[in-house]
Structure 1
Amino acid sequence: MLLLDGIFFRSSTAFWDASTIIPSLIHDLYGSRFLTGLVPTLRYGGWYAPQLLVAKYSERTVYKKRLLLFGYLIVTGSYSALTLLTLFGSPLWLKSSPLLVLGAYGLACIGDGVCGVPWWTLIAKTISPRRRGRLTGYSESVGSLMAFGAGFVVTTIIASGRFGFPDYYGVLFAIGIAVSLVSVVAIALIKEPPSLVGGQSGTSFFAFVKKAPMILKENPSYTRFVITKGLLMCHFLSLPFCITFARDVVGLPPQVVGEFISFQMVGGMLGSLVLGHLADRSGTRSAMILTAVGTFLIPCLPLICSLLANAVLVSPKSILIRGLLSATYVLIGLANVGSLIAMGNYVLEISTPQDRAFYVGLSNTLVFPASFLPALAGASLKWIGYEILFLMTAVIVGIGLVCAIRLDEPRALSHSEREKETNRWSLV
Structure 2
Amino acid sequence: MDPASLAKLLAPEGWALLNQLPPYSEEAALRLSAGLRDRGVEPDLVAAALTQSRLRARAAAKFGDFAAGMLFTPAGLEQATRLSVAAHHARRYADAGAALVADLGSGLGGDAMALSALGVPVLAVEADETTAALATVNLRHFPTASVRHADALELDLAAEGVDAVFADPARRTRGGRRVFEPGDWSPPLDAVLGLRTTVPALGMKVAPGIPYSFLPPDAHAQWVSVAGDVVEAGLWFGPLAPEGPGRSALVLSTDGPHVLSESAALSGTPAAAPDAPARAGTVRPVGSYLYEPDGAVIRSGLVARTAEDLDAGLLSEDIAYLTADRLVETPFATPYRVLDHFVFSLKRLRAYLRERDVGPVTIKKRGTAVEPEQLRRQLALKGSASATIVLTRIAGRQSVLVVEPVAP
TM-score bracket relative to the smaller structure: under 0.3
- TM-score, normalised to structure 1, is 0.22
Between 1 and 2, higher relative CO (CA 8 Å, sep ≥ 6) is seen in: 1
The structure with the largest helix share of the pair is 1
